[in-house]
Amino acid sequence: MGMNTQGRPTRMAATIAADNMATGGYADTISGSRGLDQAEPLIFERGGLDRCGVDLPEPKGSATRLGGLERKAEIGLPGLAEPETMRHYVRLSRKNYAIDLGLYPLGSCTMKHNPRLNEKMARLPGFADVHPLQPVATVQGAYQLMGELAHWLMTLTNMPAVAMSPKAGAHGEFCGMMAIRAKLDADGETGRRRVLVPESAHGTNPATAVQCGFTVDEIPADKTGRVDMEAFKAKLGDDVAGIMLTNPNTCGLFERDIREIADLIHEAGGYFYCDGANFNAIVGRVRPGDLGVDAMHINLHKTFSTPHGGGGPGSGPTVLSEALAPHAPVPYVVQTEKGGWDLVENMDDAEGDPFGRMAAFHGQMGMFTRALTYMMSHGSDGLRQVAEDAVLNANYIQARLKHVMTTAYDGTCMHEALFDDRFLKDTGVTTLDFAKAMIDEGYHPMTMYFPLVVHGAMLIEPTETESMSGLDRFIEVLEALALAAKAGDKDRFLAAPVHAPTTRLDETRAARQPVLRWTPPVETVEAAE
């Protein structure tokens, strides 16, 4: 182990923190830095309880009306001055990969360019600095924006209604399945509690179905990676509430029999929930309403480019069919006869029979602004091009790599290309090793081991915002890695990554001995006593 990679032993954190707490100072940059990749301690190891990065006026110390509930003990929250705070988080930011740094081919996650116009519009004070409970007359523009976005979503999907309040994709699934449940209950269909879910579905689908009081019955995939129609038909019955299907599905394929699936589930008395995670593959070219869908959430960040921010926020407006629309949750905006906007906030004021309220307030307004900005920037012509280029890019990758990597299924794919690990057979290299080696080549790896129906799955989604020359470079890198693995250059993979801010992290240890927060080192406690 050379000097530069030696890094700070973890137990040293305690010593550094003890010094900090004792001196009120902060630790200097510590060993573990490599060139511009600077090791960064936790704020708890560098801040102090009397340090502060904001200027506030001195309180007057006047009488309180806290009823004797004033806090007695220290909280233990360290502060940093503004320059230190800036440096701390800028340094941390440099340890992240991001779409602005390069291709981020996470299949089914859809990482595309995030235009800064979206950010600028979301920060207009008229959108960012308004309160959800302001008088309705003072936020007409905000309701108008929600109404406009709803119009775009309904038109793009050819669906008659949309619930705007779901706060993320999985929350949108919950919305759709709750609407189905409410409709079944309203019709006295209390025996319908079984939901069909393909094996390749996102884990959120079965989890959501259970949350809505359904049981899950899995449908296997056929050899083309699509719903096995015979198995599906065999599962239909008068206890079926519906099907939760992703289309294009998580194998990156369009479900060719989608219309038949919709017809059969409807004939059987159930409803069709479509997981809209992959809507970017068909936007402007196919309207889910024309496929027989009853409910579908739309992840605004995937199709309409709201940035994902390292894990969120999301936003999952859910379009609903005529049958389910009356059960949409509150609150929702309506246009008044005079052309203004109003808000229906209470179940009793709703025209239909809402299944409830999903969260406080109206939804992810900041995401709505970004999504509408993106839609208007593209227009109907640009959005159609989005789907076409997304599909073109995925098929280009598939076509150019299938001679060195193994594709899971034959034929054209939609917006993502699915490979498996057969090309790594007998090389001693796993999908995980392959992914980590991609990091050393400067790329974020693809989605690994998903969908579960494919062994060692590698799901690559380039999205529509990647250029041909960029894709060519990526293809060359993967080609070279595949050839290296086959040539027996195993060490290159097993040691990877060596050019990342950390080497391979021990995830098993994290789960077996969970350390979920910083705690004051023992030395400090002793010193204080």
Partner 1 sequence: MRYLPHTDTDRKAMLDAIGVASIDDLFTDVPEAARLDGLIDLPTRQTELQVERTLSAMASRNIAASHAPFFVGAGAYKHHVPATVDHLIQRSEFLTAYTPYQPEISQGTLQTLFEFQTQVALLTGMDVANASMYDGSTACAEAVMMAARVTRRNKAVMAGSVHPHYVEASRTLAKYSDVEITVTDAAPADLDAVIAEIDDTTSCVVIQTPDIFGRLHDLREVSRIAHEKGALVIAVFTEAVSLGLVEAPGHMGADIAVGEGQSIGVGLNFGGPYVGLFACKDDRRFIRQMPGRLAGETVDADGRRGFVLTLSTREQHIRRDKATSNICTNSGLCALAWTIHMTLLGEKGLTTLARLNHETACELADALSGVPGVEIVNETFFNEFTLLLSRPAADVVDDLAKVGVLGGVPASRLYPGRFENYLIVAATETNTPEDIAVFAKALAGVL
- Binder to partner 1 among 119, 222, 342, 523 (CB under 8 A)? 119
DSSP letter for each residue of 246-268? ESS-TTS---TTHHHHHHHHHHT
Of the candidates 332, 337, 367, the one whose C-alpha atom is nearest the C-alpha of residue 161 is: 332
Residue 83 or 426 having the CB closest to partner 1 = 83
Instruction: Extract the tokens encoding 421.
Output: 């690990």
* Footprint on residues 82-101 left by partner 1 (CB under 8 A): 82, 85-86, 88-90, 92-101
3-state secondary structure of 236: coil
Host H or E run for residue 207: helix 204-211
Query: Binding to partner 1 by residue 152, rule CB under 8 A?
Result: yes
Q: Is 70 exposed, middle or buried (0-12, 13-18, 19+ CB in 10 A)?
A: exposed
- In degrees and rounded to multiples of 5, residue 122 shows phi and psi of -65, -20
Query: Binding to partner 1 by residue 522, rule CB under 8 A?
Result: no
* DSSP symbol at 280: G
Query: Binding to partner 1 by residue 54, rule CB under 8 A?
Result: yes
By DSSP bridging, strand 447-448 and strand 417-420 are unpaired
Provide the minimum distance between the beta carbon of 101 and partner 1 in the complex, in angstroms, as a whole number.
7
Do 290 and 315 form a contact (C-beta atoms < 8 A)? no
Instruction: Extract the tokens encoding 178.
Output: 């709750």
- Binder to partner 1 among 416, 420, 433, 464 (CB under 8 A)? 464
Compose the 367-406 pattern: x for residues touching partner 1 by CB under 8 A, - for all others.
x-x--xx-xxxxxxxxxxxx-xx-xxx-xx-xxx------
* Footprint on residues 232-261 left by partner 1 (CB under 8 A): 253-254, 256, 258-259
* DSSP symbol at 150: H
Residue 487 or 525 having the CB closest to partner 1 = 525
Tell me how far apart the alpha carbons of residues 240 and 268 are, in angstroms, rounded to a whole number: 7
Provide the minimum distance between the beta carbon of 487 and partner 1 in the complex, in angstroms, as a whole number.
24
Query: Binding to partner 1 by residue 528, rule CB under 8 A?
Result: no
**Cβ partners under 8 Å of residue 458, min gap 6:** 405, 418, 419, 420, 421, 431, 434, 435, 446, 447, 448
Tell me how far apart the alpha carbons of residues 22 and 484 are, in angstroms, rounded to a whole number: 53
Instruction: Extract the tokens encoding 448.
Output: 């690994």
Query: Binding to partner 1 by residue 32, rule CB under 8 A?
Result: yes
**Cβ partners under 8 Å of residue 68, min gap 6:** none
- Binder to partner 1 among 176, 314, 317, 326 (CB under 8 A)? 314
HEC secondary structure over 347-414 = HHHCCCCCCCECCCCCCCHHHHHHHHHHHHHHHHHHHHHHHHHHHHHHHHHHHHHCCCCEECCCCCCC
Tell me how far apart the alpha carbons of residues 130 and 213 are, in angstroms, rounded to a whole number: 37
Query: Binding to partner 1 by residue 178, rule CB under 8 A?
Result: yes
* Footprint on residues 474-493 left by partner 1 (CB under 8 A): none
Do 413 and 395 form a contact (C-beta atoms < 8 A)? yes
Query: Binding to partner 1 by residue 295, rule CB under 8 A?
Result: no
Residue 190 or 426 having the CB closest to partner 1 = 190
- Binder to partner 1 among 18, 20, 21, 44 (CB under 8 A)? 44
Question: Near partner 1 by CB under 8 A, which window of 78-86, 231-239, 317-325, 481-489?
Answer: 78-86
Query: Binding to partner 1 by residue 35, rule CB under 8 A?
Result: no
Provide the minimum distance between the beta carbon of 419 and partner 1 in the complex, in angstroms, as a whole number.
16
Neighbours of 81 (CB within 10 A): 15
- Binder to partner 1 among 264, 291, 295, 324 (CB under 8 A)? 291
Neighbours of 446 (CB within 10 A): 28
- Tell me the residue type at 324: L
Provide the minimum distance between the beta carbon of 190 and partner 1 in the complex, in angstroms, as a whole number.
12
Residue 201 or 424 having the CB closest to partner 1 = 201
Provide the minimum distance between the beta carbon of 233 and partner 1 in the complex, in angstroms, as a whole number.
18
Query: Binding to partner 1 by residue 51, rule CB under 8 A?
Result: yes
Provide the minimum distance between the beta carbon of 422 and partner 1 in the complex, in angstroms, as a whole number.
22
* Footprint on residues 130-149 left by partner 1 (CB under 8 A): 130-135, 137-142, 144-145, 148
Query: Binding to partner 1 by residue 352, rule CB under 8 A?
Result: no
Tell me how far apart the alpha carbons of residues 394 and 381 are, in angstroms, rounded to a whole number: 20
Residue 263 or 322 having the CB closest to partner 1 = 263
Question: Near partner 1 by CB under 8 A, which window of 17-25, 356-364, 476-484, 521-529?
Answer: 356-364
Residue 160 or 382 having the CB closest to partner 1 = 382
Residue 210 or 525 having the CB closest to partner 1 = 210
Compose the 157-176 pattern: x for residues touching partner 1 by CB under 8 A, - for all others.
----------xxxxx-xx--
Residue matched to tokens 């008229």: 126
Q: How far is CA 427 from the centre of its chain?
A: 33
Residue 110 or 425 having the CB closest to partner 1 = 110
* Footprint on residues 403-442 left by partner 1 (CB under 8 A): 411-412, 414, 435-436, 439
With CB under 8 A as the rule, give the number of residues binding partner 1.
Answer: 218
Provide the minimum distance between the beta carbon of 337 and partner 1 in the complex, in angstroms, as a whole number.
18
- Binder to partner 1 among 27, 156, 429, 460 (CB under 8 A)? 156
* Footprint on residues 196-215 left by partner 1 (CB under 8 A): 202-204, 206-213
Instruction: Extract the tokens encoding 32.
Output: 């573990």
Residue 293's alpha-carbon distances to 93, 120, 162, 207, in angstroms, are 41, 35, 13, 20
Query: Binding to partner 1 by residue 312, rule CB under 8 A?
Result: yes
